[in-house]
Amino acid sequence: MFFLVAALLLLGMALGAVAHLPLSFTVLAAAGIAAWLGAFALRERLARRS
């Protein structure tokens, strides 16, 4: 339960920060995070095959 409360608190803080940033920066940061997660998923998938 503590983990859930902490996660929701951090999410609220992150969304609050995003509301004050320019839209172009927010989109660029989201694209960077998506690329990072995609690269990680691809690396993990290839590691499981070998």
Give pLDDT, residue 35.
96
Q: What is the pLDDT of residues 3-50, one digit of tens each?
A: 888 888 888 888 887 778 888 998 898 899 999 999 999 999 999 887
Give pLDDT, residue 12.
82
Give pLDDT, residue 45.
93
The sign one gets for the Cα dihedral 24, 25, 26, 31 is: positive
Give pLDDT, residue 39.
97
Give pLDDT, residue 3.
87
* Burial (CB count <10 Å: 0-12, 13-18, 19+), residue 3: exposed
